[in-house]
Amino acid sequence: MSFDSTWLRCPNCSADLLPVDDRVYGCEHGHRFDRSKYGYLTLLPPKAPRTVGDDREMLAARAALLNSGAYLPIAEELVRTALTVEAGDAGEALRVADLGCGTGYYSERLSNARPGTSILLADRSPDAVRAALRAVPGATGIILDIWRPLPLRAEVADVVLNVFAPRNPSEFVRILRPGGRLVVVVPRADHLRELRERGLLLDVPAEKANTVTEQLAAAGLSRRSSSSVQYMLDADRDTRALLAGMGPAAHHTASRSNTSADGSGDVTIAVDVLAFEFASPSG
């Protein structure tokens, strides 16, 4: 099982992490981290909040929905956008950090499109990283808290993926190499509109793409491209239950139970795929 420590720094002191033996990684200050039997490394900072990320039920719903091809057009546009970037060093593999990787679906599609890509799979949920490593077995997997300073070295990624996930703008800037790209996928206001009208999902703020653009611009990230993906998904009762059960609303038991009474019919899929580049003060 492969593991590339060149991505990593210590979450305690920010020194580079290096292999100590086959399963242990550490820094020059004596901090040590053991890889789990599933191959990932937990790199949470001291006193990190005791959140666990998406649970198994949510991840199972997401995997079933994504594996059905329901979001394939989104994945294809994300891959197209990500692969407009070249590796920072000629002859080297493209380095992609998937932050909030979930089940690894989007990284799997990217890996298939460009074999040999070096991929980091990172999420707060151990179950998510475990699933993602099954989808992309050659990747490096870590548990992290995306809200805190990331246990990743500076200028280590050619591409950062952020798909329906929290954002940490200043840290995204720090880990991107010069000329690299941050690719963000956010829902449009009418995304899954038919389910929101039934009260099964949380509302999406209007003009979310512009709000995200302003948030990232404050950290020095300039939007380089934007594309919309919109289509109608023929969703039977089971598909609607998966759509409602795989997102944040699934944390509420009522949302999960109410999906059983839902009907069938077309559901609107509508997202924006945004690409950002760090704009240095010198331009």
What is the rounded average pLDDT of the residues 101-124?
97
What is the rounded average pLDDT of the residues 91-103?
94
* pLDDT level of residue 132 (50, 70, 90 thresholds): very high
User: Tens digit of pLDDT for each residue in 11-24?
Assistant: 999 999 999 998 99
- Strands 176-187 and 118-123, by their bridges, are unpaired
Q: What is the DSSP letter of 260?
A: G
* Percentage, residues of the chain above pLDDT 90: 77
Domain with residue 23: its CATH number is 3.40.50.150
Q: Is residue 13 part of a domain?
A: yes
What is the rounded average pLDDT of the residues 74-92?
89
Tally of domains within the chain? 1
- For 113, counting Cβ atoms within 10 Å of its Cβ (0-12 exposed, 13-18 middle, 19+ buried), the class is middle
Pick the range with the lowest mean pLDDT from 62-76, 101-115, 235-249: 235-249
Q: Is residue 283 part of a domain?
A: no
Helix, strand, coil tally for the chain in percent (to 5): 30, 30, 40
Residues 60-91, buried b or exposed e (16+ Cβ, 10 A)? bbbbbbbeeebbeebbebbbebbbebebbeee
Q: Is residue 82 part of a domain?
A: yes
- Residue 53 belongs to domain spanning: 5-278
Q: Is residue 114 part of a domain?
A: yes
Give the pLDDT of residue 70. 97
Distance of alpha carbon 247 from alpha carbon 229, whole angstroms:
19
User: Tens digit of pLDDT for each residue in 44-63?
Assistant: 988 777 766 678 899 999 99
Structural tokens at position 208: 């979310």
Residue 87 above 90 pLDDT?
Answer: no
pTM score of the predicted model: 0.92
